[in-house]
Chain A
């Protein structure tokens, strides 16, 4: 029953978007209730669909569109877990926003845009073909542009929105090129009769793509998957297209929470997970037994995880720290797809998706807590905070839970062979599995670099997030602001998310089992590289938790006990500190080299030269332009601006027409 109406998952928030946009001003709280009701509806339908198709069903609907393409819905295990997470987290963020945005005059626009944002993301998830996926993907990009620049009167917000749009656009162009290349290749193998589309299927549907992937020229397949990955790099803020995500903090905090947890950056990881069989099918030329595409995914992800974590260490804006944390955690998800994908096959999708969803819960929670603090303090700068624990108990405790989840704190009883369940936060279960996957990859393929990057990043993660927590909530207040706890409409979503950040991890085994079956259900075989049973030593099993705790202790020593005076390092102009604080000079590089030097000085200037001197100049001193101009001068006096003149000419014309018709056809 829910399966048949699954199109409503997308259509309800779209409807709410239209209604809120036009009627929001007249409704309670800028029409916030419409998107909340619509997204609650989406969540209920998603949940109902899940209960219906569990454990091994799917929803497939498809309508022909044009030129062999289609519009369709595909809800498989991968999609349904994402649908539930996105609609649920988005729902909580919308409820929270009623309180957070209470004083903003542009509420109808805000709620309309977030509703469309959610709809676009839900549409990405349940697309059954890559074209529809791409269209929804672009809509997500548009909404992020609108929302990052929500306070468009602030120049920094307008610039951040532009940067987000342009940087992700680079990825989108690559993605589109990948789709075109894929289409050309599939058409080619159809033309040579090596492959045919089954009746009822369409050319860019995922199942057709997976079947065709085996027959496409391997080099072309690598190129296609890497172009897809380019799109994912842009959307998910991976190196080198990561710069837009921290700048995106210019929007309202609730928008950041939406972008980081539910509706935007996860789309990139989802794209790789969605087209995972194609990544696995790429040939292994760089490293033996590791498909090229997966190797690159693993290295980009691992490097991003480490690289972003180093910048998270020094940021003073509470939201910027979280932004770099997101970039870093997305790196982990990519790393999982790459490394675990090479040794465990389809299980990697489960591992990556599990971290994605666990991350969505605790990162949404972190952002909403940060929003609560910002709401109370009126500033983003953690140097001006401190000592808030007593004043904002709920926020402080829920944020502590989220920070523990991000640091991956827990105790791996079962991993050490004890007959008890592992106990820990959601992040413990999900991140441990990723690091373990990277370790197994290292053991089997003899390449420990991704594992090393993952472990060091885990240490840094724990340091930066507890630096944030200690500086915000402990110690003495460093400014005279009067802080207070946020209203219930804001704290209750925090509590719900905190429960998920604590307990979601226990669904691990069931989650893996369910999502792993995804590609089996679509009749796609994924080669699993069976190795011998893998039994790491206890110290290795404990290592992620050990570095997590170590990070907390380091933060505690520096930022709470003040055992090391950071201010000396900061004021002495330490080159590493400067490099990190300036974000590896990436924003400068983007603005000066690409923006000014390349775009303006080279492309625009040469374009101007060609236009002015060659095109205008060569055509005999601009003779065409001048002639057209003079002809225009001649006849423009006909436009007198007096209505009567126009009416007379019209009547005259009508009369002439009648006379001509008379002459031609005769009559009375």
Chain B
């Protein structure tokens, strides 16, 4: 396995995530896609770290995972609260913050 194979996998995951964010309507799916993109970045971090023999990147990835978890927690909490108020998590219906 070369560095390239990791990078290719990571870019595939990233693209899936980006595609999902643009096309999906459900808030939960969009959050999941954001997690995918974060995972792609983490894979890159770990891959580079491993190939350069420098542990800093892996430590970085650990931090990033922890923060991603916190962020997902807040995101889902917002969605739950939103669902209680508006009875929907379809983002097309949640668009009053605009002109």
Contact B22 A647 (CB under 8 A): yes
A644 contacts the other chain (Cβ, under 8 Å)? yes
Contact A640 B21 (CB under 8 A): no
Complex partner residue of B98 from A639, A648, A651, CB under 8 angstroms: A639
Contact A644 B95 (CB under 8 A): no
Minimum CB–CB distance from A110 to chain B (whole Å) comes to 32
CB neighbours of A651 from chain B (8 A):
18, 22
Chain A binding surface SS class = helix
B5 contacts the other chain (Cβ, under 8 Å)? no
Complex partner residue of B21 from A637, A639, A642, A644, CB under 8 angstroms: A644
CB neighbours of B18 from chain A (8 A):
647, 651
Contact B99 A636 (CB under 8 A): yes
Enumerate B50-99 residues with CB–CB distance to A below 8 Å.
Answer: 91-92, 95-99
Query: Given the known A-B contacts A648-B22, A651-B18, are A642 and B91 also in contact in the complex, defined by CB atoms under 8 Å?
Result: yes
Contact B22 A641 (CB under 8 A): no
Contact A641 B21 (CB under 8 A): no
Contact A640 B98 (CB under 8 A): yes
- C-alpha spacing A485/B10, complex, angstroms: 79
Complex partner residue of B95 from A636, A637, A641, CB under 8 angstroms: A641
Contact A644 B99 (CB under 8 A): no
Type the 1/0 row for A644-658, where 1 means its CB is closer than 8 Å to any CB of B: 100110010000000
Contact A641 B97 (CB under 8 A): yes
- C-alpha spacing A641/B23, complex, angstroms: 15
CB neighbours of A636 from chain B (8 A):
99
Contact B99 A639 (CB under 8 A): yes
Q: How many B residues touch the partner, as a band?
A: 10 to 19
Complex partner residue of A644 from B23, B96, B97, B98, CB under 8 angstroms: B23
B30 contacts the other chain (Cβ, under 8 Å)? yes
- C-alpha spacing A644/B92, complex, angstroms: 9
Contact B95 A640 (CB under 8 A): yes
**Chain B residue with the shortest CB-CB distance to A655:** B18
CB neighbours of B21 from chain A (8 A):
644, 647
Contact B99 A637 (CB under 8 A): yes
A631 contacts the other chain (Cβ, under 8 Å)? no
Minimum CB–CB distance from A415 to chain B (whole Å) comes to 75
A67 contacts the other chain (Cβ, under 8 Å)? no
Enumerate A606-662 residues with CB–CB distance to B below 8 Å.
Answer: 636-637, 639-644, 647-648, 651
Minimum CB–CB distance from B29 to chain A (whole Å) comes to 11
CB neighbours of A647 from chain B (8 A):
18, 21-22
Contact B99 A643 (CB under 8 A): no
Most chain B C-beta atoms within 10 Å of own C-beta, residue among A640, A641, A648:
A641
Complex partner residue of B30 from A637, A641, A643, CB under 8 angstroms: A643
CB neighbours of A639 from chain B (8 A):
97-99
CB neighbours of A637 from chain B (8 A):
99
Minimum CB–CB distance from A651 to chain B (whole Å) comes to 6
- C-alpha spacing A6/B25, complex, angstroms: 61
Contact A643 B91 (CB under 8 A): yes
CB neighbours of B24 from chain A (8 A):
644
Enumerate A305-331 residues with CB–CB distance to B below 8 Å.
Answer: none
CB neighbours of B97 from chain A (8 A):
639, 641
Type the 1/0 row for B13-44, where 1 means its CB is closer than 8 Å to any CB of A: 00000100111110000100000000000000
- C-alpha spacing A639/B97, complex, angstroms: 8
- C-alpha spacing A637/B99, complex, angstroms: 6
**Chain B residue with the shortest CB-CB distance to A637:** B99
Minimum CB–CB distance from A641 to chain B (whole Å) comes to 3
- C-alpha spacing A641/B99, complex, angstroms: 8
- C-alpha spacing A644/B96, complex, angstroms: 14
CB neighbours of A643 from chain B (8 A):
30, 91
- C-alpha spacing A648/B18, complex, angstroms: 9
- C-alpha spacing A642/B97, complex, angstroms: 9
Most chain A C-beta atoms within 10 Å of own C-beta, residue among B24, B91, B96, B98:
B98
- C-alpha spacing A651/B21, complex, angstroms: 10
- C-alpha spacing A651/B15, complex, angstroms: 11
Minimum CB–CB distance from A102 to chain B (whole Å) comes to 36
**Chain B residue with the shortest CB-CB distance to A638:** B99
Most chain A C-beta atoms within 10 Å of own C-beta, residue among B21, B25, B30, B96:
B21
CB neighbours of A641 from chain B (8 A):
95-99
Minimum CB–CB distance from B86 to chain A (whole Å) comes to 14
Interface pairs (17), CB distance under 8 Å: A636-B99, A637-B99, A639-B97, A639-B98, A639-B99, A640-B95, A640-B99, A641-B95, A641-B96, A641-B98, A642-B91, A642-B95, A643-B91, A644-B21, A644-B23, A644-B91, A651-B18
Binding site for B on A (CB under 8 A): 636-637, 639-644, 647-648, 651
15 more CB-based (< 8 A) A-B contacts, given A642-B92, A648-B22: A637-B99, A639-B97, A639-B99, A640-B95, A640-B98, A641-B98, A641-B99, A642-B91, A644-B21, A644-B22, A644-B23, A644-B24, A644-B25, A651-B18, A651-B22
